[in-house]
Amino acid sequence: MADQKNFLVLENFIAGKFVPCTDYIDSYDPSTGEVYCRVPDSSSQEINAAVTAAKGAFPSWSSKSPQERSQILNKLADLLESHLEEFAQAESKDQGKTITFARTVDIPRSVYNFRFFASSILHHTTECTQMDLLGCMHYTVRTPVGVAGLISPWNLPLYLLTWKIAPAIAAGNTVVAKPSELTSVTAWMMCKLLAEAGVPAGVINIVFGRGQQAGEALVAHADVPLISFTGSTVTAQRIIERSAVQCKRLSLELGGKNPAIIFDDADLLECIPCTVRSSFANQGEICLSTSRIYVQRTIYDDFLKKFVEATKKWKLGAPSDPTASMGALISKEHMEKVKKYVKKAQAEGATIVCGEGKDPLDMPHKNRNGYFMLPTIITGIKDQSCCMQEEIFGPVICVVPFDTEDEVVERANGVKYGLAATIWSKDVGRVHRVAKRLQSGLVWTNCWLIRELNLPFGGMKASGLGREGAKDSYEFFTEVKTVTIKH
Ligand code: NAD
């Protein structure tokens, strides 16, 4: 364990000031397994203080024009961008993801989240309709809701937190945000930029701590009418229960068990590297990661051979290694849970083609206690197996054959989740048919993870409630009112 004095110690950010906490949680460096940081273990006391600050800042912030708020969001984006490398290094160390992923995905997208909503807030219109016979004109107005409670997970820490903060404050709300206790560092770093960006005290408050304590206090707070949550389905169920008493407005972005369907006319030259990426990027710790691959039987052997070859080249390494494709998993507990799925599959008679328990781990000495695991491919597994039904959220992929279009649609839909699906085929008619029938909030064809932020993002079934995006987030973070005028 590192010397106590060398720990990075985070503080809550409330009413424009850093505030120490009485209790702290150890935060581990996933690449070494050592404690390197201490995160406030906040309670309802800190949440109450943050909500009071947010409530106090609301009247002034909500009465600013969208143009004024937009300028501040753009300034924050510029500041974040000017510190991109610093944030990328911190995100990679805190989360275990590769420095390349943090540099090219997490932090640029966090910057873009502010720029995107700084722009989109300027372009909303409301509705108006006339009723000549009765001499009436009806129109809608939108107003910010108040104090928004924002709760985010550990897999894309700053990326997903800013995806909530940006639309919330652009629309005129003030926020109390609680990032994951496992990955709090970049949110804390961002707080240092807020004053310079011109964000008034109390508009963005960040309280760190555990979900069961700080998170629940935020969800249950009477002055927080709206909760935007990204995380697991189990936690979302708890949030629904806790917020039911006050009928809170909820946006829930949850887990997935995302299928890739590969038809026999797929362009394997494009499909294989893309599917390796969709399965193993960010250690498979993306809600949109592919976790079941259905391959048409006529090309199954060819696909599997090439897919295994490409996966073996997906380099596991220390997060700081710029040549690594994959870094460490978030925690020891999570790594053990992911490995347990592989063991269960083996016990059920499935084949572990490569990866966990099959190939040797070769990590540098300093990383020997880190949470590393090789990309793992499982075949010969039944659709009913827990590996094919439950979200594993790690570098494990199941590959199975199918025969017909009808069959694969039914099997792809045969899980409780419905977040993202991928189809590989050159037949446009088939793509349309299958995309329409899949129970999935997002369907990518011949690609993966190409996002248009204007369009709705979110899941069906146990994958979520509501959608995020330019219009959807604006609607979520505002109240609509219909006004009727008779002349
Ligand atoms: P989690 O549900 O354990 O935690 C998410 C957040 O909720 C954390 O900040 C946590 O502290 C907080 N929390 C936990 N219990 C709480 C409670 N009782 N009340 C209030 N807050 C509570 O999820 P995780 O393990 O951090 O993240 C992984 C999950 O997130 C996966 O299921 C993944 O699919 C999902 N996810 C979904 C999306 C999406 O957009 N659909 C994106 C990323 C991750």
Collect all residues with Cβ–Cβ distance below 8 Å to 101 and sequence separation of at least 6: 92, 281, 282, 327
Tokens of 481: 């009112």
pLDDT reported for residue 487: 86
Residue 351, amino acid: T
Distance from Cα 205 to the centre of ligand 1, integer Å: 19
Q: CATH no. for residue 241?
A: 3.40.605.10
If asked whether residues 163 and 287 sit together in one domain, one would say no
Residue 310, amino acid: A
Closest atom of ligand 1 relative to the 242 alpha carbon: 19
Does the residue 422 lie in any domain?
yes
Mutate to test the pocket of ligand 1, among 41, 155, 178, 237 (most ligand atoms within 8 A of CB): 155
Q: Whose CA is nearest to atom 16 of ligand 1?
A: 211
If asked whether residues 312 and 298 sit together in one domain, one would say yes
Place of tokens 């009465």: 63
Mutate to test the pocket of ligand 1, among 105, 221, 232 (most ligand atoms within 8 A of CB): 232
If asked whether residues 354 and 480 sit together in one domain, one would say no
Mutate to test the pocket of ligand 1, among 113, 180, 286, 332 (most ligand atoms within 8 A of CB): 180
Strand 136-144 with 34-40, pairing: unpaired
If asked whether residues 47 and 36 sit together in one domain, one would say yes
Does the residue 271 lie in any domain?
yes
Mutate to test the pocket of ligand 1, among 27, 106, 151 (most ligand atoms within 8 A of CB): 151
pLDDT reported for residue 5: 62
Closest atom of ligand 1 relative to the 153 alpha carbon: 26
pLDDT reported for residue 2: 42
If asked whether residues 190 and 243 sit together in one domain, one would say yes
If asked whether residues 278 and 374 sit together in one domain, one would say yes
pLDDT reported for residue 6: 79
Distance from Cα 86 to the centre of ligand 1, integer Å: 25
- Burial bucket for residue 327 (CB in 10 Å: 0-12, 13-18, 19+): buried
Q: Whose CA is nearest to atom 26 of ligand 1?
A: 153
Q: Whose CA is nearest to atom 40 of ligand 1?
A: 253
pLDDT reported for residue 4: 54
Does the residue 339 lie in any domain?
yes
Does the residue 451 lie in any domain?
no
If asked whether residues 98 and 159 sit together in one domain, one would say yes
> What residues make up the domain containing 367?
258-445
Q: Whose CA is nearest to atom 23 of ligand 1?
A: 231
Distance from Cα 345 to the centre of ligand 1, integer Å: 25
If asked whether residues 318 and 400 sit together in one domain, one would say yes
Q: Which of 121, 183, 119 is nearest to 151 (CA)?
A: 183
Does the residue 452 lie in any domain?
no
If asked whether residues 177 and 67 sit together in one domain, one would say yes
Q: Whose CA is nearest to atom 34 of ligand 1?
A: 255
Does the residue 244 lie in any domain?
yes
If asked whether residues 230 and 369 sit together in one domain, one would say no
Which residues contact ligand 1 via a Cβ below 6 A?
151-155, 160, 178, 180-181, 210-212, 215-216, 219, 230-232, 235, 238-239, 253-256, 287, 391, 393, 419, 459, 464
Q: CATH no. for residue 391?
A: 3.40.309.10
Distance from Cα 214 to the centre of ligand 1, integer Å: 13
Buried b (16+ CB within 10 A) or exposed e, 248-281: bbbbbbbbbbbbbbbbeebebeebbebbbbbbbb
Distance from Cα 463 to the centre of ligand 1, integer Å: 12
If asked whether residues 369 and 409 sit together in one domain, one would say yes
Does the residue 450 lie in any domain?
no
Instruction: Show the CA angle centred on residue 200, arms to residues 195 and 201, nearest 5°.
Output: 85
Q: Whose CA is nearest to atom 43 of ligand 1?
A: 287
Does the residue 453 lie in any domain?
no
Which residues are designated catalytic? 253
Whether 297 contacts 403, CB under 8 Å: yes
Residue 409, amino acid: V
Distance from Cα 252 to the centre of ligand 1, integer Å: 10
Q: Domain count for the chain, please give it.
A: 2
3-state secondary structure the chain: CCCHHHCEECCEEECCEEECCCCEEEEEECCCCEEEEEEECCCHHHHHHHHHHHHHHHHHHHCCCHHHHHHHHHHHHHHHHHCHHHHHHHHHHHHCCCHHHHHHHHHHHHHHHHHHHHHHHHHCCCCEEEEHHHCEEEEEEEEECCEEEEECCCCCHHHHHHHHHHHHHHCCCEEEEECCCCCCHHHHHHHHHHHHHCCCCCCEEECCCCHHHHHHHHHHCCCCCEEEEECCHHHHHHHHHHHHCCCCEEEEECCCCEEEEECCCCCHHHHHHHHHHHHHHHHHCCCCCEEEEEEEHHHHHHHHHHHHHHHHCCCECCCCCCCCCECCCCCHHHHHHHHHHHHHHHHCCCEEEECCCCCCCCCCHHHCCCCCCCCEEEECCCCCCHHHHCCCCCCEEEEEEECCHHHHHHHHCCCCEECEEEEECCCHHHHHHHHHHCCCCEEEECCCCCCCCCCCECCEECCEECCECHHHHHHHCEEEEEEEEEC
If asked whether residues 245 and 394 sit together in one domain, one would say no
Mean pLDDT by runs of 10 across the 487 residues of the chain is: 71 98 97 98 98 98 98 98 98 98 98 98 96 96 98 98 98 98 98 98 98 98 98 98 97 98 98 98 98 98 98 97 98 98 98 96 95 98 98 98 98 98 98 98 98 97 97 98 96
Q: Whose CA is nearest to atom 18 of ligand 1?
A: 212
Collect all residues with Cβ–Cβ distance below 8 Å to 338 and sequence separation of at least 6: 329, 373, 392, 393, 394, 395, 396
